Amino acid sequence: MTKAVMHGLCLWSLLGMTWAAQAAADAETLVNQVTQATKNLNYEGTFVYTHETNIDAMLIVHKVENSTEYERLISLSGPTREVTRDGDRVTCVFGEDRYLMVEKRRPEDFIGLALSEPVKKISEYYSFKLLPDDRVAERPTKVIRITPVTADRYSYQLWIDSITNLLLKSTVLSNTGAVLEQVMFTAVEIGKPIDATKLRASLGGDFKSVTNTSSRAETDHKSIENLKVGWIPHGFALKNSYVQRMADSHIPVQHLVYSDGLAMVSVFVEALTSGSPPLKGYSSMGAINAFSRINARHQITVVGEIPQTTVRKIAASVVVQ
């Protein structure tokens, strides 16, 4: 091989490395813009949520006024359900069960990415890659693939509106590349004024009303001093710890929330009572996996958008003394 050929190959490699690094940086920038667009734009549309063999059609209305988010989510198929959000007040209505639940919590996006860390921090645990452009709901999109560095997390693929940076489609992928769940707009209007009447709940009548309350566990140390989570995947950190009390139960539930900035994991611990049969083993819905076990007369349940093996390993490490 001549020096000229070697020099040419070396130059080509350097150019390729530079392009790949720039593409990754562009992908990270786009993800940051998605987070801002989801929170700051007015939009209204229909989307489908698919997991396993289930397909749910939903209507969403999102409005921002005076830095406060207002949102309404309505089921268009299956059981009658409706969720409204007014700032940090979330109301869930289950029409067929005549059940209404109200709680105050940190706003979480119905559509979009609930990033709890800057993308630069997340890039320690995931790689970002731009894929060829595509179209969703008749709108041009940029496409990003987010791949975990380790196998204890899932991959994601995002279709981002080329004009507004709103997330129009997302999939969660297993380690083998199988689609575990997907959210996709089928029609959407972005940036138009939204009348306040579109944000009002439509389900009326008599409902059984339940208000969930929670207090920061730091203010109730006795409730968590005997609880220890022995293992959590590298990069996951404790974001919140609560003692939740349901209105229809006097038994407090300890709730720890962990995140790596993209994926979230919840650990629930509740004392067993004589009248409640314990849960054991796996359950799942789409990309969400749960594993339950018993320790020291306590029900331990770990729930998260992570693989079953990871959920089980976390649950096995939880000890109540």
For residue 110, count other CB atoms closer than 10 A to its CB. 18
Domains and CATH numbers, the chain: 15-199 (2.50.20.10), 212-320 (3.30.200.100)
Q: Would you say 265 and 303 are in contact if contact means Cβ atoms under 8 Å apart?
A: yes
Q: What is the pLDDT of residue 63?
A: 95
Residue 236, Ramachandran bin (φ over 0: left; ψ between -120 and 50: alpha; else beta): beta
User: Where are any strands of DSSP class E within the chain?
Assistant: 43-51, 54-65, 68-75, 81-86, 89-94, 99-104, 126-136, 139-148, 155-161, 167-173, 179-190, 208-216, 227-229, 237-245, 253-259, 264-271, 281-285, 288-295, 298-304, 318-320
Q: Which residue in this structure is represented by tokens 């297993």?
A: 174
d(CA 273, CA 249): 11
Average model confidence (pLDDT) for the chain? Answer: 81
d(CA 62, CA 316): 40
Q: What 3-state class would DSSP assign to 92?
A: strand
Q: Could you tell me what percent of the chain has a pLDDT over 90?
A: 48
Q: What is the pLDDT of residue 249?
A: 56
Structure tokens at 29: 């920038």
Banded model confidence at residue 169, pLDDT cuts 50, 70, 90:
very high
For residue 78, count other CB atoms closer than 10 A to its CB. 12
For residue 171, count other CB atoms closer than 10 A to its CB. 20
d(CA 149, CA 155): 10
The more confident residue out of 279 and 228 is 228
Q: Would you say 311 and 318 are in contact if contact means Cβ atoms under 8 Å apart?
A: no
pLDDT in tens, 45-99: 999 999 888 899 999 999 999 989 999 989 999 888 888 888 888 888 876 665 5
Structure tokens at 272: 């067993």
pLDDT in tens, 204-231: 666 565 565 554 444 344 455 578 999 9
Q: What is the pLDDT of residue 258?
A: 94
